[in-house]
Amino acid sequence: MPSTPSGEPRSETAEPRGIIGRRRSDGIFRGVTIVAGALILAALAAVAVFLVAQSIPAFLADPAELKGSPSSFWAYVGPLAFGTVWAALLALIMAVPLSLGIALFISHYAPRRIAQALGYVIDLLAAVPSVVFGLWGITVLAPSVTPLYGWLTENLGWLPFFTPPVSGTGRTILTVAIVLAVMIIPIITALCREIFLQTPVLHQEAALALGATRWEMIRMAVLPFGRAGIISASMLGLGRALGETMVVAMVLSPAAVISFVLTGSQNPSTIAGNIALNFPEAHGVGVNALIATGLILFVITLIINSVARIVINRRSAFSGAN
């Protein structure tokens, strides 16, 4: 039997203290992560239970008690849900191409010093409060785009998106979408930049060695590798746009309508903006109705993220360094 330096016998099954300590720390870390995950699920379940419990009176109430006296609760929440999805979708359409272009420029085209400076600026923009963007949208952007809206209505009025009459203030759903796009561009850009930088160097060098141009290398190696990450970044930006309140409340001139017109004065409001504008004055069933619209927003966000997760899982072959 082996012995210790002091001459005492040592068991063959004894383990070094370092291994025991590492196993103990691994167990503690595993327990902390399990508790953290359980807390997240518990918080999500608590929010869902609260929304459902507080929304039941609104579902059962007389529609005459709701704001605007709609024919039913769904007639009340329908335009709000439409405006929420419509504004967020417009913002995403504008933000994703610009974000990808900026991220690719930083990661594969810009010199190192310029890339670092742009990276810092993008990170700082992501931390700007939404109220600042709202002030910029209502004082600078809306008056600036009013002549453009007039031109679009005069020359492209035959399209359903630019049907006259045009808004005289510029506080339209398109203005809100532009501000939301500016808000989510830093988020999508920062994530896509980090994803593109993780592309295996061997994949890029192999494409270049075969005679591919830089753009062909990006199209064959970088974009397929980061496809799942791009979708995740886009969904994160979409979630920010769906839940934005201050910009919508400050910039938009809302109405209880469902309209695809981008430059008109009658614009659908969003669920978050409607809650922010009406909650201070709401009472009784009105409070339950606003909470019920929050439940609808919760369900919309959950559905969108679930669809995104399904798409990412189908593209899992491109998400690793394989």
Average pLDDT over residues 154-162: 87
pLDDT above 50 (res 319) = no
Nearby residues of 172 by Cβ (< 8 Å), 6 or more positions away:
149, 252, 253, 262, 263, 264, 265, 267
pLDDT above 60 (res 107) = yes
- End-to-end CA distance of the chain: give it in Å, rounded: 48
Nearby residues of 270 by Cβ (< 8 Å), 6 or more positions away:
80, 83, 84, 87, 244, 248, 252
- From the CA atom positions of the chain, what is the Rg in Å? 26
Q: What are 202-211's pLDDT values in tens digits? A: 888 888 888 8
Taking the model in full, what pTM does it have? 0.83
pLDDT above 60 (res 151) = yes
Q: Which range is least confidently modeled, 59-73, 113-127, 296-310?
A: 59-73
| Closest-CA residue to 183 (of 94, 272, 250, 117) | 94
Contact (Cβ atoms closer than 8 angstroms) between residue 267 and residue 259 = yes
Q: What are 250-304's pLDDT values in tens digits? A: 888 777 788 888 888 888 888 888 888 888 787 888 888 888 998 999 998 888 8
Amino acid identity of residue 141, one-letter, is L
Q: Give the separation between CA 32 and CA 194, rounded to whole angstroms.
A: 27
Give, in order, the Cα–Cα distances in Å from 17 to each of 7, 27, 135, 201, 283.
Answer: 19, 15, 61, 40, 64
Amino acid identity of residue 283, one-letter, is H
Q: Give the separation between CA 103 and CA 190, rounded to whole angstroms.
A: 7
